[in-house]
Structure 1
Amino acid sequence: MIHEYFRHKAHDQGYTLSHSQQRVIDYMAQQANALLQPDAKPHASRSLYLHGAVGRGKSWLLDGFFRAIPLAEKQRLHFHDFFAQLHQGMFRHREQPDALEATLDELLSHCRVLCFDEFHVHDIGDAMLITRLFKALFQRGILLLVTSNYAPQGLLPNPLYHARFKPVIDLIASRMQVMEVGGPHDYRSQPRSHSQQVFTQGRYLWPGSDQQRLSLGLPRRNGPTSPLMVGARQLQVRLCKQHSVGFAFSDLCEQPTAVMDYLELSRRFDHWIIDELPELGECPIAVQQRFINLIDVLYDQDKHLTLIGERSLRESLGGNAIDLARTRSRLGQLQEISADTPPS
């Protein structure tokens, strides 16, 4: 079942599986077989934590397992999205004796397989909640599959907080099979099928002339903006028309926006334009991280992106935020257009 799915999928997409990918598939097949036994006990399967460099097929493996396993009681979520729902649910159930358990009852009713893509931790407040979350998931006997760019020991690397996150690291080590997905190839650099969730239909335009902006329906640089309410927050937009929205980078990433704002916006708009991308390396780390989070959400939600900057994409994506390598890999799929003529 699992082996057959991946064999056909790799053949159809022209992939040659790396040794580490094949090891992961073998392990997934073992856990699926254990989970699907008629008399399987709730803790029969051992959860899986996949880590490795960007573009090595972690999300591809996770999605393949999710599609291949013949269960209805399963959920696949970007970790950003799930964590936003978790916070909202705990606020709703704040009068309950255990708001976390009440929220999990609501979000994961009858769930047996839970897949988290792009797991990472940068905030100590989130880290403390993740400890409680993982304990609760394991107690419920849910088979948890997680992808991350980091080995467990590399999560929350800030030395001020890393020791306080050690209980989660120890929990992952004791309750999950930790496997690295390696290999020499960045699969995001290879041609993809139209159905895959990538930015290959998106564009990066530079040097960001007014002619390029006008061709997209944007006002000229420093042109008028309109207010847009996102929850209780008011943002300024350059374009808002049906399912399309356009922002200046500063109005979206240099303001105190959060992942929950990006998730709400992604539910309302399918076509995104982000104008005036600066040199990220000159931006504060907090601004770089907001941009990283935004691209994560747009990529996972399969949104169409047009990005506009003054310099080439490679020159614009400097910086030293922890997750920037993932963002560079994803934005590298955009069609780069350096011309003052309207894009086709």
Structure 2
Amino acid sequence: MKFCTGSEYLVRCIQRGVVSRCVLPTARVIRTHWTVRTYHLVSDSRHLRGRIRSCSSNGDPVFGGGKSTLNRFLSTDVALTKKQVVDRTPLEQYEYLVSIGQIRDDSFQRGIVSSLVSLHKAVKNYHPTPIEYPNIDDLKPKRGILSFWSRNKSYLQRKVSLDNIPKGIYLYGDVGCGKTMLMDMFYSTIPTTVLSKRRIHFHAFMQDVHKRAHALKVQHGSDFDSIPMLAAALADEARVLCFDEFQVVDVADAMLLRRLFEALIHHGVIFVITSNRAPDDLYKNGIQRQSFIPCIELIKERLHVICLDSPTDYRRIERPLKNVYHSPLDARAKEHAETWFNYFANPRDPPHAATHSIWGRELQVPKASGKVAQFTFDQLCGQPMSAADYLELARNYHAFVITGIPILTLSNKDKARRFITFLDAVYESHGKLVATSAVPFSEILSDDRHSSDRPKEMDQNMLDMVGEMGLTNESLKSLNLFTGDEEVFAFSRALSRLQQMSSAQWVDAAE
């Protein structure tokens, strides 16, 4: 496999241990005995997740740190070997999966596949222009009376024709209707020799964006406009971006996405997105939603919006249970947890506490062995942990044993949200989940919006906080941030995923 322009320089950089500069991004493939993954060498070494020590005779990189170093370098959002089916169209792959019994033939899904086939053809014939990075000085604040009008003028006011950029696809529908399966099938049929690509859960994408934006501001100053530079780097790494479970619930994300999406589209990035919500329902009743409307209009303009309203939730079709979930919390619950922990544990790695570093903080794992970690529910969700913490756990462990899960309700939003975020991270990494709970797993999540025990008004601290934003108690009553609408969607998705993760097919799948 050949390097891009400037290969001799790149090889010298690699042999020294640091990739510092490359004329063009290069898609490479790392082959090991357990996976094949695609990564991209980019112009800034900060984007790499490790250091390449040397090159083998065939040009592939050799890592000095063994498998653990390789895992740190690789992103979890790239495709595994079993998903690389680049010699088929989406329709051919769909019919193949039906023929081997892996999926059921569905007339609703076939209608979507035809749209994916059209996009697949357009992508293979798409020849995007090279990415043009903005000038660093243009992104720094200008001084003087005309500073507001002059900032970024030379970069942001360039007119870019969108006529030659294929329109993407926005798939939305109820949980379990096959959105993610269809997107993954499309992703697997795009040859990396045609266009660079990236498939990622939206939680993980936003964590990556915030982290890289923070790094740019640390380097260039807090008033540095990081979005244009970040958009250019993201477009350089992937011309096809596939987002799973797209949703906007945070005002900071909403304001960032409005500019980022526009910049990525003008760089020629093609989007394939799955969501539980139609575009017009994104960030519904959110704070400052009016400022997010341009992003919604851009999505509707540049993506074909398709409702996948298949009546069947395929994740709820009965499959043999492996009894990975146990209830109630009786004497057998402890035995259940110990049995499964020992099943996943490494006999040569005695159970021990572990510590991981993330964003300068220490993340404690009470009990670990090999690739399995065990927590009580309070240890996992009773502390102020973020999506980044759960993604880090999912990157480091393939199986989780969670004990003492209570009934989760909308009245207890913080713990419920953390548990759902944790489930999303484990599900997306194809991890295993063992749990002991107070009730059967199908009843762990409960919608109690109409419960008489649920608080009817916000507490004084919340009122003080929103008062600083110029909002009133009455205006907030309609916001889904306080009505629980977003949690209901998330609860529904989590229940469906819990069902799927309890199947023998999921538990027995190779890691």
The TM tier, using the shorter chain, reads 0.7 to 0.9
Instruction: Say which SS state the counterpart of residue 48 (structure 1) adopts.
Output: strand
Q: Which residue of 1 aligns with 2:266?
A: 139
Match of 2:206 among 83, 87, 96: 83
Alignment pair present for 1:10 and 2:131: no
Instruction: Say which SS state the counterpart of residue 256 (structure 1) adopts.
Output: coil
Q: Which residue of 2 aligns with 1:216?
A: 337
**Cα contact 1:2–1:69 (8 A) shared by 2:** no
Match of 1:119 among 237, 246, 264: 246
Instruction: Say which SS state the counterpart of residue 93 (structure 1) adopts.
Output: helix
Question: How far apart are 1:60 and its partner, in Å?
Answer: 0.5
Cα offsets for 1:67-110 (capped at 9, x unmatched) = 11223411111111111111111111114454233334444425
Alignment pair present for 1:60 and 2:181: yes
Q: Which runs of 5+ in 1 are unaligned?
A: 193-198, 219-224, 337-344
Cα offsets for 1:98-146 (capped at 9, x unmatched) = 4233334444425221111111111111111111221121111111000
Instruction: Say which SS state the counterpart of residue 409 (structure 2) adopts.
Output: helix
- CA distance in 1 between counterparts of 2:230 and 2:177 reads 34
Once the two structures are aligned, what percentage of the paired residues are identical?
30
- CA distance in 1 between counterparts of 2:424 and 2:495 reads 11
Q: Which residue of 2 aligns with 1:328?
A: 495
Q: Which residue of 2 aligns with 1:318?
A: 446
For residues 268-307 of structure 1, the aligned pairs below 5 Å read: 268-281=396-409, 283-307=411-435
**Cα contact 1:18–1:182 (8 A) shared by 2:** no
For residues 201 and 299 of structure 1, do their structure 2 counterparts lie closer, same or farther at Cα, with a shift above 3 Å needed? farther
Partner letter of residue 497 of structure 2?
R
For residues 101 and 174 of structure 1, do their structure 2 counterparts lie closer, same or farther at Cα, with a shift above 3 Å needed? same
For residues 127-276 of structure 1, the aligned pairs below 5 Å read: 127-190=254-317, 203-217=324-338, 228-231=355-358, 232-234=360-362, 237-276=365-404
**Cα contact 2:235–2:264 (8 A) shared by 1:** no
Q: Which residue of 2 aligns with 1:44?
A: 165
Comparing 109-118 with 142-151, greater Cα deviation is found at 109-118
For residues 180 and 214 of structure 1, do their structure 2 counterparts lie closer, same or farther at Cα, with a shift above 3 Å needed? same
Comparing 124-133 with 277-286, greater Cα deviation is found at 277-286
- CA distance in 2 between counterparts of 1:309 and 1:23 reads 41
**Cα contact 1:112–1:143 (8 A) shared by 2:** yes
Q: Which runs of 5+ in 2 are unaligned?
A: 1-88, 130-161, 340-351, 448-483, 504-511
- CA distance in 1 between counterparts of 2:244 and 2:292 reads 20
Question: How far apart are 1:211 and its partner, in Å?
Answer: 3.7
Q: Which residue of 1 aligns with 2:114?
A: 26
Larger Rg: 2
Match of 2:215 among 89, 92, 96: 92
**Cα contact 2:241–2:271 (8 A) shared by 1:** yes
Comparing 292-301 with 249-258, greater Cα deviation is found at 249-258
Partner letter of residue 325 of structure 1?
S
Instruction: Say which SS state the counterpart of residue 243 (structure 2) adopts.
Output: strand
**Cα contact 2:324–2:502 (8 A) shared by 1:** yes
Using the size of structure 1 for normalisation, the TM-score is 0.85
Instruction: Say which SS state the counterpart of residue 216 (structure 1) adopts.
Output: helix
Question: How far apart are 1:283 and its partner, in Å?
Answer: 4.6
Cα offsets for 1:195-226 (capped at 9, x unmatched) = xxxx97671111133443245339xxxxxx95
Instruction: Say which SS state the counterpart of residue 13 (structure 1) adopts.
Output: coil
Comparing 99-108 with 240-249, greater Cα deviation is found at 99-108
Instruction: Say which SS state the counterpart of residue 332 (structure 1) adopts.
Output: helix
Partner letter of residue 208 of structure 2?
Q
Partner letter of residue 328 of structure 1?
L
**Cα contact 1:245–1:272 (8 A) shared by 2:** yes
Q: Which residue of 2 aligns with 1:196?
A: none
- CA distance in 2 between counterparts of 1:280 and 1:81 reads 24
Partner letter of residue 326 of structure 1?
R
- CA distance in 1 between counterparts of 2:499 and 2:209 reads 32
**Cα contact 1:55–1:185 (8 A) shared by 2:** yes
**Cα contact 1:49–1:145 (8 A) shared by 2:** yes
Q: What count of residue pairs does the alignment treat as equivalent?
A: 324
Question: How far apart are 1:254 and its partner, in Å?
Answer: 2.3
Partner letter of residue 122 of structure 2?
A
**Cα contact 1:202–1:334 (8 A) shared by 2:** no
- CA distance in 2 between counterparts of 1:210 and 1:6 reads 47
Cα RMSD (Å): 2.7
Query: Looking at both structures, which has the greater relative contact order when contacts are Cα pairs under 8 Å and sequence separation is at least 6?
Result: 1
- CA distance in 2 between counterparts of 1:131 and 1:256 reads 28
Using the size of structure 2 for normalisation, the TM-score is 0.58
**Cα contact 2:255–2:292 (8 A) shared by 1:** yes
For residues 174 and 242 of structure 1, do their structure 2 counterparts lie closer, same or farther at Cα, with a shift above 3 Å needed? same
